[in-house]
Amino acid sequence: MVREGSSPGSSGPTSPVIWAVPAAVTAAGTVLAVALVSAPARTPVAWLGAVAFAAVALSCAVAHRRGRQLAELRATVATQRTALERQQAETVRLASELLPDVVGRLRKGEFPEDVLTSLEASDVYEPGLTPEFRAAHLAVLRSVVDAVVAEEDLRDSAQRAFVNIARRVQAIVHQQAQELRGMEDRHGKAPEVFGDLLRLDHGTALIGRLADSIAVLGGARPGRQWSKAVPLYSVLRGAMSRIIDYQRVELHSVSEVAVVGPAVEPLIHALAELLDNATRYSPPHTKVHLTAVDVNSGIAVEIEDGGVSMSEEARKRAERMLQQAQRGIDVNDLGETPRLGLAVVGRLSQAYDFQVSLRSSAYGGVRAVVVVPQHLITTTSAATGVAHGIGTSSGPRGALEPAARPTGSTAAPSAAAVPAPAVPAGPIASAATEVTANGLPQRRRKARATAPAATTPGAAAPETTTDQPETTPSTEPGLWLAAFQSGLSGENQNDNASSASASKGEQP
């Protein structure tokens, strides 16, 4: 009431004048009556007039005061109403604009402190609102921000836990796969054990893919990283090796390129998920065709199955899921029976610029095409030619071996003719040094064992010993025996004799 303390401005100066009018009129009437009435009546009239004047003046004063209070009250009500309307509008704005904005900003990853300080900046609020009201609003916002942050934290920690567990599983699977490979090498000669090891290996790879999927959905990278480029052929077979029905996948022509290291694991994983879908949703007796061809924008890997065709509606749903995953996926959105595959593919394709499309295939099934962009492709020469993927890079090693083999086999006669006498230390030593120079230590032993026997009595002798035909027959039995014996039991038993006779026989 008195709080405002502001007197109504308009009626203020006029009201005392207005309220003074009746009193003045009464006073004037009294004076007039006193003047007009006869003398004896003048005194009572004067008294009456005075009383009337006092009464009128009193009531006027009271009425004036009341009127002023009324005006003040009206003014107060008016200001309070406007304040209330402002508060209402502010509350509506809080609910309809500020809160969604705050939540959106928090979801986008802004720090809660930043959001709060920007809200506390005074220009957000209209002036005229009480500090209590603003404080209350800020408290509401703060508690909402806290709730959202807590929720995000919870989800983050849940995802981190996912990823953490997935990483551990991956580590175990990696180690296991490594050990299995060692066992496969060790027991490679026993087909029964080897078959069991292959099955174990396969199962381990399936577990690894599952762990990779969880890691990807948790927002992390899949599995291991490759520092070197890997041939596309190996990548495709790597994808095949991670699905259950890999025997149904038919690998067709593959262009001779390699995939750069960082993109290898994501591509393998994405292709494995698509292959898994293809084999899972097609009849067990049908084949799934896997090809990779050059296209303008990179390499297109096609996966075609002969299964049930996708209806247009199902195709749209799948593509929608891919796009949804590309925008960023929430583990909570996966639902009760998650179809992880497409979500993983979408996530990976978004992160690594693969273009994935699903169409209906000419075989009647589904045709999935993954286009790997050009900047993830490199030449095979940059790729590793290591491990058992020997031919996959159309091999530096594969090219090296046949080049070495013919020289080895053609070197056998020449080795028998030339270096055996040139090195007088004995046949074994000569063979060993010559062999290491050639890089192929196998199979030379046999050639050397026959060589001295062949040079001396046989058909190979005439061409090498044409210079001194008479010395070779003379030393023939002793040389032969000595060479044979030293070959049998150590090298330097008859070292002098053999070296002397050999040098004598064939040095010129």
Partner 1 sequence: MSDPGGDWEDASPERLYVITGGRSGALGPATLDLVTLIVARSGPKPGMQPEHAAIIRLCQAPLSVAEISAYLGLPVSVVTVLLDDLLAADLVLSRAPVARAQLPDLALIEAVIDGLQKL
Scan residues 139-198 and list those touching partner 1 (CB under 8 A): 163, 167, 170-171, 174-175, 177-178, 181, 184-185, 187-192, 194-196, 198
Map residues 232-251 to x or -, x wherever contact with partner 1 holds by CB under 8 A: -xxx-xxxxx----xx----
**Please, which of residues 292-331 interact with partner 1 by CB under 8 A?**
none
**Cβ proximity to partner 1, 184 vs 491, nearer residue:** 184
Beta bridge partners of 355: 371
Site for partner 1 in 403-432 (CB under 8 A): 405-406, 408-409
Shortest Cβ distance from residue 268 to partner 1 (Å)?
Answer: 6
> By C-beta, is 83 or 200 nearer to partner 1?
200
Question: Minimum distance between the CB of residue 371 and partner 1, rounded to whole angstroms?
Answer: 20
Q: With respect to partner 1, which residue has the nearer C-beta, 298 or 389? A: 389
Beta strand ranges found along 296-376 (DSSP E): 298-305, 355-360, 366-373
Residue 287 interacts with partner 1 (CB under 8 A): yes or no = no
Kind plus residue range of the DSSP H or E element containing 230: strand 230-231
Residues 4, 120, 179, 401: which binds partner 1 (CB under 8 A)? 401
Spatial contact of 376 and 352, defined as CB atoms under 8 Å apart: yes
Return the number of the residue (122 or 227) whose C-beta is nearest partner 1. Answer: 227
Of 10, 14, 38, 227, which one interacts with partner 1 (CB under 8 A)?
Answer: 227
Per CB under 8 A, the segment of 228-236, 297-305, 342-350, 368-376 that binds partner 1 is: 228-236
Name the residue nearer to partner 1 (CB basis): 147 or 404. Answer: 404
Q: Smallest gap, in angstroms, from Cβ of residue 455 to partner 1?
A: 20
Of 504, 172, 230, the closest CA to residue 388 belongs to 230
User: In whole angstroms, how close is the CB of 389 to partner 1 at the nearest point?
Assistant: 4
Among residues 356, 362, 361, which one has the least CA distance to residue 344? 356
Q: Is 103 a residue that touches partner 1 (CB under 8 A)?
A: no
Q: Which of 259, 265, 178 is nearest to 220 (CA)?
A: 265
- The minimum distance between CB 275 and partner 1, in angstroms, equals 12
480 contacts partner 1 (rule: CB under 8 A): no
Where would I find the beta strands (DSSP E) of 244-391?
A: 249-254, 257-259, 288-295, 298-305, 355-360, 366-373, 377-379
Alpha carbons within 13 A on the beta-carbon side of 158? 10
Residue type, 482: A
Sequence-distant (6+) residues with CB within 8 A of 387 are none
C-beta atoms surrounding 472 within 10 Å: 21
Q: Binding to partner 1 (CB under 8 A): which residues in 429-458? A: 442
Angle of CA points 349, 383, 199, to nearest 5°: 70
Give the binding-site size for partner 1 (rule: CB under 8 A).
Answer: 71
Q: How far apart are the first and last CA of the chain?
A: 136
Residue 469: Cβ-neighbour burial (10 angstroms; 0-12, 13-18, 19+): exposed
Interaction between residue 394 and partner 1 (CB under 8 A): yes
Strand order in the sheet with 377-379: 230-231, 257-259, 377-379
d(CA 373, CA 289): 21
The region of 29-37, 126-134, 220-228, 466-474 touching partner 1 under the rule CB under 8 A is: 220-228
Touching partner 1, residues 369-388 (CB under 8 A): 384, 386-388
**Least distance (Å) between residue 166 CB and partner 1:** 10
Nearer to partner 1, 235 or 356 (CB): 235
Position 42 contacts partner 1 (CB under 8 A): no
How many residues comprise the chain? 508
